[in-house]
A and B are shown apart, each in its own frame.
Chain A
Amino acid sequence: MNSRSFDVYLKNLCLWYDEHLLFHNLNWSLPSQQWTCLLGQSGIGKSTLLRLITGLSAKNSKLQGTVLITKPLAYLGQNDALLPWLTVFDNACLSARLGSYSKTEKRMIKKRAQYLLQRVGLEAVSNFYPRQLSGGMRQRVALVRTLVEENPLIVLDEPFSRLDAITRYQLQNLAVELLKNKTVLFVTHDPAEALRLGDRIDLLSGQPATIKTFARFTTSGPRDLSSPEILTLQKKLYQILSAAYSNHSGLQPTDHPFALKTAGQ
């Protein structure tokens, strides 16, 4: 692994959203084949940054600076966004329908979808429709759809936030397994999730927002959250984040159930 190579590179990025300066001279990069977690409160510009990297336009925004994305990427958001008129299998191969691929490439995509559905344990329901599946199963289909093109860069925007704790835990393990050797940008609200999965944890805070690296790990996830080292980091992370939450204009710490939880620490 070459630690010097980057797949996403932002330099002197200035971004206005509705005449409101979100980023001022932001510099940030994502190292290749690493799992970078980005944490930050809502409204700070996470989604805008994500949309920028994914190539989705954000309405009413103005941009200055360099944005360099060197590899093709796939994106998965909070909603599985499965198409209700397609079967599980057809949803998994959606890129074969939407992207510009040759016949052989399409066949490859279908083969990979079949293989990946088997990997995530959904082989038996590949002819089902999304409405027949549970939330966790749906998100697994969405994960397969994200991986099927074999894009080296994967952007995940709180993909597990809507799932129950156990399903989330299982999907985190699965994701780590399937996303090996990919460059992953993982946006989350959950410090524990970030500590469990990230090779690097970055915090987005302030107005205009800046990004600071909070931690780097040499071991890869999923990590044991009960190890003393991780527990110390977790405590520190909660402190930093709740301080950021209470400093944010107009928001009282009590507005956030999250901040309440940590107030006693």
Chain B
Amino acid sequence: MISARLRRLSFLIFGLLILWEGIVFLFQLQPYILPSPDRVFLVLAAKLPLIAHEALTTITETLLGLLLGTLFGCAMALLLAFFQSLSLWLLPLVIISQALPTFAIAPLFVIWFGYGLVSKIAITVLMLFFPITSAFYDGLRQTDSDWLDLAKAMKATKWRLFWHVRIPAALPALASGLRMAAAIAPIGAIVGEWVGSSQGLGYLMLNANAQMQIDFMFATLFIVTFLALLLYFGMDYLLRLFIPWEAHEKI
């Protein structure tokens, strides 16, 4: 199964590269409009130490943002599910957090939390908060009625029912939220860096763009995409390991 996925993925990437090369060749595009893949890879090879160094910052921001976003999201979902009456007040807040246009308020975060790590993490957390909360909360509300009946017949207290049945039963739903979060977490960090920073892949891309080093920008973009995929599949792997009963779709 894993090898089939890998084969499909490499086939897809290879196909895209050929298409890209073909377009550049066919329309005779200048490197500052769209550089050919081989050129991008040459630049990537030459600048790899620099990119790797900046990537470290972005990876740190992404992982910390993912961790904190998951913690806050889970805590909020648990609060909402455990205290039903509270959810009337908290649910609108959760929705507002998603309605805020992250890109537009990102500069504000830089003003509030500074040029460094904190503002990027805050932006990532804000982006991840909603998908995680809503996925987990949905899972907590939709416990199988057979399990609820069983627990009730065993005279389970609300707390024990929550801990032993409703939370584990909601983990597959949380897992789909976490997969989504893993896919968008790097975007949060990059947006933060784009808006104001002196480090990270977003900063590198912004600079390259400004200096019309489009091949360099593409090389960095390639690494960003690669990291995002790595994060997604890493998350997927962990979730399969810890929630083996989850009926998941293959990608």
Number of residues of chain A lying within 8 A (CB) of chain B: 21
Complex Cα distance, B154 from A79, in Å, reads 16
Least Cβ distance of A41 to chain B in Å? 22
- Is B85 interfacial (CB-CB < 8 Å)? no
A197 to chain B, nearest CB (A): 22
* Contact call A79/B146, Cβ cutoff below 8 A: yes
Q: Could you tell me if B153 and A81 are in contact, using CB atoms closer than 8 angstroms?
A: no
A98 adjacent to B160 (CB under 8 Å): yes
Is the contact region of chain A dominated by helix, strand, or loop, or is it mixed?
loop
* B153 pairs with A54, CB closer than 8 A: yes
A83-B147 in contact (CB<8A):
yes
Residue among A75, A95, A97, A98 with the highest chain B CB neighbour number at 10 A:
A98
Q: With A54-B149, A75-B150, A94-B154 given, can you name 20 additional A-B contacts, CB distance below 8 Å?
A: A56-B152, A74-B153, A75-B149, A75-B153, A81-B149, A81-B150, A83-B168, A85-B171, A85-B243, A85-B245, A94-B150, A94-B164, A95-B154, A98-B151, A98-B154, A98-B155, A98-B156, A98-B161, A98-B164, A129-B244
User: Is the beta-carbon distance between A77 and B149 smaller than 8 angstroms?
Assistant: yes
Residues of the A chain whose Cβ atoms lie less than 8 Å from the Cβ of B168 = 83, 85
- Chain A residues with Cβ below 8 Å from B165 are 83, 98
Q: Can you list 8 pairs linking A and B with CB atoms under 8 Å apart?
A: A56-B149, A75-B150, A77-B149, A81-B149, A83-B165, A98-B165, A100-B155, A131-B245
Task: Give the number of residues in B that approach A within 8 Å (Cβ atoms).
Answer: 22
Chain A residues positioned under 8 Å from B30 (CB to CB): none
Chain B interface mostly:
helix
> How many angstroms between the C-alpha atoms of A85 and B174 in the bound complex?
15
Residues of A within 8 A of B164 (CB): 94, 97-98
Task: Report if B3 contacts A (CB, 8 A).
Answer: no
Q: Is B211 an interface residue (CB 8 A)?
A: no
- Asked if A77 contacts B161 (CB within 8 A), the reply is no
Cα A74 to Cα B151 with chains together (Å): 11
Question: A interface vs B, CB < 8 Å?
Answer: 54-56, 73-75, 77, 79, 81, 83-85, 94-95, 97-100, 129, 131, 149
Q: Which residue of A lies closest to B167 (CB)?
A: A85
CB distance from B167 to the nearest CB of A (A): 10
For the complex, is B38 an interface residue (Cβ under 8 Å from A)? no
B157 at the interface (CB under 8 A from A): yes
Residues of B within 8 A of A54 (CB): 149, 153
Which residues of chain A are near B150, meaning CB under 8 Å?
A: 75, 81, 94
Q: Across the interface, name the chain A residue whose C-beta is closest to B157.
A: A100
Q: Point out which of B149, B161, B164, B244 has the most chain A C-beta atoms below 10 A from its C-beta.
A: B149
Q: Which 8 residue pairs of A and B lie closest in terms of their CB atoms, listed nearest first? A: A84-B245, A98-B156, A81-B146, A75-B153, A98-B154, A85-B168, A79-B146, A97-B164
Nearest residue, chain A, Cβ from B243: A85
The reply to whether A129 and B149 form a contact with Cβ atoms under 8 Å apart is no
Complexed CA–CA distance, A177 and B157 (Å): 32
Contacts of A149 in B (CB 8 A): 154
The residue that A77 contacts in the complex, of B146, B151, B152, B154, with Cβ under 8 A, is B146
Minimal beta-carbon separation of B148 from chain A (angstroms):
9
Contact B144–A55 (Cβ < 8 Å): no
Find residues 115-165 in chain B having any chain A CB closer than 8 Å to their own CB. Answer: 144, 146-147, 149-157, 160-161, 164-165
A232 to B7 CA separation, bound complex (whole angstroms): 66
Closest to A131 in B: B245
A99 cross-chain contacts in B, Cβ below 8 A:
154-156
CB-based nearest B residue for A75: B153
Within 8 A of A (CB), among B18-53: none
Q: With the chains together, A73 CA to B169 CA distance in Å?
A: 25
CB-defined contacts of B160 to chain A, threshold 8 Å: 97-98
CA distance A99 to B165 in the complex (A): 13
Closest CB-CB distance, A94 to chain B, in whole Å?
A: 7
Task: List chain B residues, Cβ under 8 A from A74.
Answer: 153-154
Given known pairs A73-B153, A83-B168, the reply for A129 and B245 (CB within 8 Å) is yes
Q: Which among A55, A77, A84, A149 has the highest number of chain B CB atoms within 10 Å?
A: A84
A129, B168: Cα distance in complex, Å:
15
Q: Which of B214-251 contact A (CB under 8 A)?
A: 243-245
